[in-house]
Chain A
């Protein structure tokens, strides 16, 4: 054995203990039956997975999660780029104001955002205003799936769009100004400059792709915003059956703990969530790196 490899042993050991070990152990755990009610760990093979995959509520949760992940990441991406363009094209004073105001949502706790945007805090008042105050005779029906999915996506995008905005601003600043000057001299309009220089630079920027990946992976862990809606939408659902339509995977895992705390089953779910997240990120990376070329 060559000497240099010996020096790798300590770090490999730590990586194994801290990273590979727990994942492997979780996987083993997910192949057994184990809960707080029944603490003896008995191997059951892929029983937990089969159970989950044949559970329509689980599939529903996966659908809802994917919908919300793609919806909100897409919205925050677009809105973030728009805000970034707004900031870079405004004057120095407006720029300072805009950037400090737009960044605020990042600092707001997601649960607060969820509550702020949820029906009982905001839409009740808005609807009262619309229906009675302005006598429009109409209101926003937050119990309609299209409406609440949109609002949940928007509220998540409200938190994270500033991140894309900051990255966009940095990317635009890094474009050599001679490119714009060359375009000016060559007779390009502002729109052509945006279309041919700014926008391709944003799309081709590794910083944007990394942000997109981070946000996609992170969005799978979306919990607080849907959570703050659950109790409201769940009113009509049977007590103890958190099967309402905004169950994201995280909520499903959380709510499964309510009775017998089926640890093994939850672990199986966590591993499936991991698989879904990694697959999605791989697809996003592939898609965006083909864009970069």
Chain B
């Protein structure tokens, strides 16, 4: 069993005033692709390093399956890890880098050569085996680092922002490959990123973390559609969810009991020609290629509205905004989701 269970796991670094990871309870299922998503400094990498054993917990328990691993060293945890800066060994060839985990743990066998070559061809780096990491591009280096992590046949595969050092097109390409890899290997993947596109496109479930606290763990579509905190609404989505005080929007929308903040996603608002729920004036337009974002001032707040790229609006014009009541989300004063 390679499930991972965190029970009230905390980490406070020496001399720090707050916990980098604050009482996190999390269950990661066997063979799941879990993405830990959060802004920089949220403690997501620390959480991953606690799972890897590269940091010691200052509270709580980490279980792999049913086994408590708090005091188990990283090398005995049967994990593999991929780092943001690749962490390849610069003095070894690509071949030796990939073979490293097997040789280092003294399991050198006759099959090693076949194994290295099989993995290299899987990652399309067979032609690079004799080169040194310094001669490779970033994408190739990350492939090597994936290969080095795969050869170990770990039970749990950890990735710490593996694509953040790569350029956009390469990221999209490797995203698909990592997803494919997860299917082929059939093991638990835990993937840390600050990039919501990565999280949305790859994850079975996303764990959202902010200021060391776990806010929500669920499927991407659930998190996107029903964020359990207004902050998640404003963090996810490009552009993010519109959040407005219900009092600012006038009487046309009735807020649920106990809710003071109303959220609605820009793509759920349409501009209608007739008089509708809200009226406002366009204060600026962002052209995004496949769509346009209108910034519409409604009462005291500014709403973002996603409209087709061929629609024609001008700054200063008055527009009527319409939406279905189902797309509204309600939050309390302290940001909690109100059902």
Question: Residues of A with Cβ closer than 8 Å to B?
Answer: 176, 178-179, 181-189, 192, 196-197, 200-201, 204
If A178-B83, A178-B85, A192-B104 touch, whether A185 touches B54 (CB-CB below 8 Å) is yes
Complex contact B100–A181 (CB within 8 A): no
Q: Decide: B104 and A200 in contact? CB cutoff 8 A.
A: no
Which positions in B face A, CB cutoff 8 Å? 52, 54, 73-77, 79-81, 83-85, 87-92, 100-101, 104-105, 145, 148, 152, 158
Chain B neighbourhood of A196, CB < 8 A: 89, 91-92, 100, 104
Task: Identify which of B85, B104, B105, B152 contacts A176 (C-beta below 8 A).
Answer: B85
Residue of A nearest to B86 (CB): A178
25 residue pairs from A and B, CB less than 8 Å apart: A176-B87, A178-B83, A178-B85, A179-B87, A179-B88, A181-B52, A181-B74, A182-B81, A182-B83, A182-B148, A183-B89, A184-B54, A184-B74, A185-B75, A185-B81, A185-B158, A186-B80, A186-B104, A186-B148, A187-B104, A188-B104, A188-B105, A196-B92, A197-B89, A200-B90
A178: chain B residues within 8 A (beta carbon): 83-85, 87
Residues of chain B contacted by A201 (CB below 8 angstroms): 90-91
* Chain A at the B interface: SS class: helix
Measured CB to CB, the closest approach of chain A to B155, in angstroms, equals 13
Q: Are B87 and A181 in touch, CB under 8 angstroms?
A: yes
Cross-chain contact A200 with B81 (CB below 8 angstroms) = no
Q: Is the CB of B75 within 8 A of A188?
A: yes
Chain B residues lying within 8 Å of A182, measured Cβ to Cβ, are 81, 83, 87, 145, 148
Are B89 and A179 touching (Cβ within 8 A)?
yes
Q: How far is the CA of A184 from the CA of B89 in the complex (A)?
A: 13
Q: Which chain B residues border A186 with CB–CB below 8 Å?
A: 75, 80, 100-101, 104-105, 148, 152
Given contact pairs A183-B100, A187-B105, A201-B90, a sample of 4 additional A-B residue pairs in the complex whose CB atoms are under 8 Å apart = A188-B104, A196-B89, A196-B104, A200-B91
CB neighbours of B75 from chain A (8 A): 184-188
Min CB–CB distance B218 → chain A (angstroms): 29
Which residues on B sit within 8 Å (CB–CB) of A200? 89-91
Q: Return chain A residues, CB-CB under 8 Å to B104.
A: 183, 186-189, 192, 196
Interface centre among B52, B73, B101 (most CB of A within 10 A): B101
Please name all residues of chain B whose beta carbon is closer than 8 Å to the beta carbon of A192 when the two chains form the complex.
Answer: 104
A173→B180 CA distance, assembly (Å)? 37
A259 vs B52: C-alpha distance in the bound complex, in angstroms?
Answer: 76
A275–B67 alpha-carbon span in the complex (Å): 69
Query: Bound complex: CA of A201 vs CA of B89, how far in Å?
Result: 9
Which A-B residue pairs are the 9 nearest by beta carbons? A178-B87, A187-B105, A200-B91, A186-B101, A188-B104, A182-B87, A187-B75, A178-B83, A185-B81
Whole-angstrom distance between the Cβ of A208 and the nearest chain B Cβ:
13
A185-B74 in contact (CB<8A): yes
**Cα of A197 to Cα of B148 in the assembled complex, Å:** 15
